[in-house]
Amino acid sequence: SEADIGLVGLGVMGANLALNIAEKGYTIAVNNRSSARIDDFMAMARREGLDARALPEADLAAFVRSVRTPRSIIIMVKAGKPVDDMIDQLVPLLDKGDAIIECGNSLFSDTQRRFERLKPVGIGYLGVGVSGGAEGARHGPSIMVGGSREEWRNAEPVLKAIAADFEGESCCAWLGEGGAGHFVKTIHNGIEYGDMQMIAEIYGIMRDGLGMDAAEAACVFKRWNEGPLNSYLIEITGHVLEAVDGETGRPLVELILDKAGQKGTGVWSAIAAQELGVPATAIEGAVAARSISSRKDERIAAEAIYGRPGAGGMAAAIDDLEKALLAGKIVSYTQGLSVMARASEQNGWGLQLSTIAKIWRAGCIIRSRFLGQMATAFEGDASTNLLMVPDFVALMKECHGPLRRVVAAGAMAELPLICLSSALSYFDASRQARGTANLIQGQRDFFGAHGFEIEGRGSDLHGVWPATIDKAAE
C-alpha cells in the first residue's frame, strides 16, 4: 500500500483531478467501473509525464489495499444512485478511520444522509463541492469541503495543494459538517445563475434597446472587465460576444438558439432558499428566466400578438448599465449569503462567510474582484448582511440610482429584466422601515381570523369586519 490517496471514477472530472493530484507530487491509485477508462487515463498520464505517480487498479479491493492508511478515497462518479452504489461497494473494503471523499455535484441533503449513515460505522464522509469545470479540476478548482472534520485532516494537504491559488492562499477550505460543502457549492451555482442572467439582461438592453451589435457589446464588456465588475463571467462574455461563425462570418452569438439549459443546481438553491424562508429573488428569477427561455414557440406566438419588446428603442448611458449590474450583483450576493447564513444556523454548520468569499476568489466560475472586496469586508465584521457592510453601503448608495434608471427605462422599452428589476424591488423592500404587510395581516384576519399585532396593545388581536357574501375560511 503506497498510494497517498485513491480516486474512483475517471470521467472528465475524475481524470483531471487525478492528473492534478499527481502533478502536485502525490501518488494516486485510480479505479473505474469500466477498465477502458483506466487505460485511457494512463495514456493521458503518460503523455503528461505523470504516469509514474499513478497506480491503476481495475479491481476495487486491490485498489483500496493500494492506498496508505488511514485511507482517503475520492469518488467522482455520476451524482445520485451511482454514488450510493459506490459507497456500498467501498464500505466493506475500508477500515475505521478511512474516509470517502465524494466530489461530484451531489444534492446536499443526500450528502447529509450519507454522512449520518457512515458516522456510526467509523468511516469518515466528506462531501466536497468542486467548481471550475474540467479546466478547474486539472489546474486548480475552488474546493468547498464539508463533512467529517477529523478525517479531513488526512486529505487536507492534497486537496489544498490541488486547489486554485489566490495570492498564495489555497482556495480550499473545510466549511462545516455533513452537507455543508455541497450546500455552499449549490448556492455558488445559484449565485452563478443570477450573475449570468443579469449579464444577459444587460446584453439584451444593448442589443434590443440601444441597437448595439455583438462586437460593440464585446468592447464594452472588455472595458468593464478592467473595472469593478472584473470577473471571469464578464471576461468570457466579451469573448463569447466577439466570436465569429466560420461558415457565415456572422457573430456566433446571433446564431446560437436562445434556449438556456440547466442541470438542476439553480433549482436546488431556489428550493433551499424557499424552504429556509430566505428571499433569493435573483436565483429564483434566473431559474425562471431559463424556463421562459425554453418556451421558444410560446414566445414567438406571443410576440406576434403583443409586439416585439424593445422595438421603440431605449435610452441608457453605458455607465449606468455598469453600475446597474454592480447594484444587482450586490443584492444577489446579499441574498445568497443570507441563504447560507440561515442554513448554517439551522444545521449548526458554523459557516464563515469570509472563508467562503475567500475560496471563491479563484478557481470557480463566479471568481471576481468583487469577492475579494467581500472577503475583506466580512473579515472584521460578524454581520451577514452585505447591504449593511460599510464598503458595500457606499457602493450601493452610488449604484442603486443607476439601477433604478435602467430598470425604469427598460420597463418603458418593454424589455424583460427579471433579475435586475427584482433586485431593485428587493433592495427597496428591505430598506423600508414601514412596509405594507400590515394590510396583508388585515386581510388574513378578515378571511381567516389569523390575528394581528398592534404595538402597545399586544398580538393575536382581531378586527370587527363586515360580513361578505363569500366569507370562506382560508
Q: Does 32 bind ligand NDP (CB under 6 A)?
A: yes
β-bridge partners, 29: 6, 55
Nearer to ligand NDP, 105 or 338 (CB): 105
Using the rule CB under 6 A, which residue among 6, 56, 70, 104 binds ligand NDP? 104
Nearer to ligand NDP, 187 or 395 (CB): 187
Q: Does 11 bind ligand NDP (CB under 6 A)?
A: yes
Nearer to ligand NDP, 14 or 285 (CB): 14
Give the count of alpha carbons within 13 A of 41, CB side only. 34
Q: Does 139 bind ligand NDP (CB under 6 A)?
A: no
Q: Looking at residue 243, what DSSP letter applies?
A: -
Q: What is the rounded distance in angstroms from the CA atom of residue 170 to the CA atom of residue 164?
A: 6
The residues, ordered by sequence, that sit 6+ positions from 101 with a Cβ below 8 Å of its Cβ are: 72, 73, 74, 75, 126, 128, 155, 159
Q: 281 to each of 117, 271, 291, 420, how far by Cα in Å?
A: 34, 12, 15, 10
33 is in an annotated binding site: yes
Q: Does 10 bind ligand NDP (CB under 6 A)?
A: yes
Number of residues that bind ligand NDP (CB under 6 A): 22
Is 474 catalytic? The answer is no
Alpha-helical segments (H) within 431-474: 437-448
Rounded least distance, CB 23 to ligand NDP, Å: 18
In the chain the first and final C-alpha atoms are separated, in Å, by: 66
Using the rule CB under 6 A, which residue among 3, 4, 6, 9 binds ligand NDP? 9
Using the rule CB under 6 A, which residue among 34, 346, 385, 438 binds ligand NDP? 34
Q: What is the DSSP string of 341-395?
A: HHHHHHHT----HHHHHHHTSSSSTT-BHHHHHHHHHHHT-----GGGSHHHHHH
The residues, ordered by sequence, that sit 6+ positions from 346 with a Cβ below 8 Å of its Cβ are: 276
Nearer to ligand NDP, 12 or 311 (CB): 12
Q: What is the rounded distance in angstroms from the CA atom of residue 118 to the CA atom of residue 129?
A: 19
Cell of 80: 445520485
Which residue out of 151, 192, 201, 322 is catalytically annotated?
192
Nearer to ligand NDP, 19 or 386 (CB): 19
Q: Does 13 bind ligand NDP (CB under 6 A)?
A: yes
Q: Does 86 bind ligand NDP (CB under 6 A)?
A: yes
Q: Does 33 bind ligand NDP (CB under 6 A)?
A: yes
Rounded least distance, CB 188 to ligand NDP, Å: 11
Read off φ and ψ for residue 211, nearest 5 degrees: 65, 30
Stretch that binds ligand NDP, among 78-86, 120-128, 208-216, 453-461 (CB under 6 A): 78-86
Is residue 183 within 8 A of residue 269, CB to CB? The reply is: no
Which residue out of 160, 185, 323, 358 is catalytically annotated?
185
Question: Taking Cα atoms as reference points, which of 144, 185, 198 lies closest to residue 330?
Answer: 198
Q: What is the rounded distance in angstroms from the CA atom of residue 25 to the CA atom of residue 349?
A: 32
Stretch that binds ligand NDP, among 30-38, 231-239, 241-249, 276-284 (CB under 6 A): 30-38
Rounded least distance, CB 34 to ligand NDP, Å: 4
**Strand pairing category for 169-170 and 142-147:** unpaired
Q: Reduce the DSSP state of residue 103 to 3 states and report it.
A: coil
Is 185 catalytic? The answer is yes
The residues, ordered by sequence, that sit 6+ positions from 216 with a Cβ below 8 Å of its Cβ are: 206
Q: Does 60 bind ligand NDP (CB under 6 A)?
A: no
Q: Does 12 bind ligand NDP (CB under 6 A)?
A: yes
Nearer to ligand NDP, 196 or 220 (CB): 196
Burial 46-68 (b: 16+ CB within 10 A, else e): eeeebbebbbbbeebeebbbbbe
Rounded to 5°, angle at Cα 266 from 265 and 269: 85
Rounded least distance, CB 109 to ligand NDP, Å: 15
Stretch that binds ligand NDP, among 80-88, 117-125, 155-163, 368-376 (CB under 6 A): 80-88
Stretch that binds ligand NDP, among 82-90, 120-128, 332-340, 359-367 (CB under 6 A): 82-90
Rounded least distance, CB 473 to ligand NDP, Å: 46
Stretch that binds ligand NDP, among 10-18, 43-51, 159-167, 332-340 (CB under 6 A): 10-18
Nearer to ligand NDP, 79 or 219 (CB): 79
11 is in an annotated binding site: yes
Rounded least distance, CB 58 to ligand NDP, Å: 11
215 is in an annotated binding site: no
222 is in an annotated binding site: no
Rounded least distance, CB 161 to ligand NDP, Å: 19
Residue 226: exposure state from Cβ atoms within 10 A (0-12, 13-18, ≥19): exposed
Nearer to ligand NDP, 36 or 454 (CB): 36
Binding residues for substrate are 105, 131-133, 188-189, 193, 263, 290, 444, 450
Interacting residues with ligand NDP (CB under 6 A): 9-14, 32-34, 37, 76-79, 82, 85-86, 104-105, 130, 133-134
Residues labelled as active-site residues: 185, 192
